[in-house]
Amino acid sequence: MTLANKVTFLRIALIPLNLVFLLYGLNGLAALLFLFLSLSDAVDGYIARKYNQVSELGKLIDPLADKILVITVLIALVEQGLASSVPVMLLVAREFIIFGVRVMAAKAGSILPAIPSAKWKTVLQLAAILMLMFNLPFAGLALWVSVLLALFSGGEYIWQNRILLQLK
């Protein structure tokens, strides 16, 4: 178990605390913890690369940790009435599809790196989630824009890997 993987597992372990904060209306604390968990994603990646701790487990669990965080928080925001269920369902469906693509690629011996449009999708998603937590103006619009970028990047993943995935 590398230090980078320990950071990733710590991120996963703190997700329930983030949900407790959010579901009990402690949105400021939830936003701070969400921001910390989101930024710590860069920390584990930095540690893995700098100290040569890149592992197959890390390549799988790191993006999964991101998805668990985002999906659980979005569902909690729907529960609170701060987010519409339709864009959340679209985002969740996209994440499951892309996770399936990653699994298929892994079975074929390839690990799919994050593509630039997916990185932008993540940044916009995180911003939209923080806006939703504080019920800011245009938060719903930001979420919908992140959905459009998510669908675009998902299509890009599939298109770029169609031969690997044996899709014509």
Q: Which domain holds residue 21?
A: 3-160
Q: Is residue 56 part of a domain?
A: yes
Query: What is the Cα–Cα distance from 166 to 54, expressed in whole angstroms?
Result: 28
Helix (H, G, I), strand (E, B) or coil at 98: helix
Helices 116-133 and 139-160, packing angle to 10 deg:
160
Which phi and psi (to 5°) does residue 23 adopt? -70, -20
pTM given for the model: 0.89
In a domain? residue 168 = no
Buried b vs exposed e over 23-42: b needs ≥16 C-beta within 10 Å?
Answer: eeeebeebbebbeebbebbe
Domain count, the chain: 1
Q: Is residue 34 part of a domain?
A: yes
The reply to whether 167 falls in a domain is no
Whether residue 46 is contained in a domain is answered as yes
pLDDT digits (tens, 9 = 90+) for 104-156: 887 777 777 778 998 899 999 999 999 999 999 999 999 999 999 999 999 99
CATH of the domain at 122: 1.20.120.1760
pLDDT tens sequence across 64-102: 899 999 999 999 999 999 999 999 999 999 999 998 888
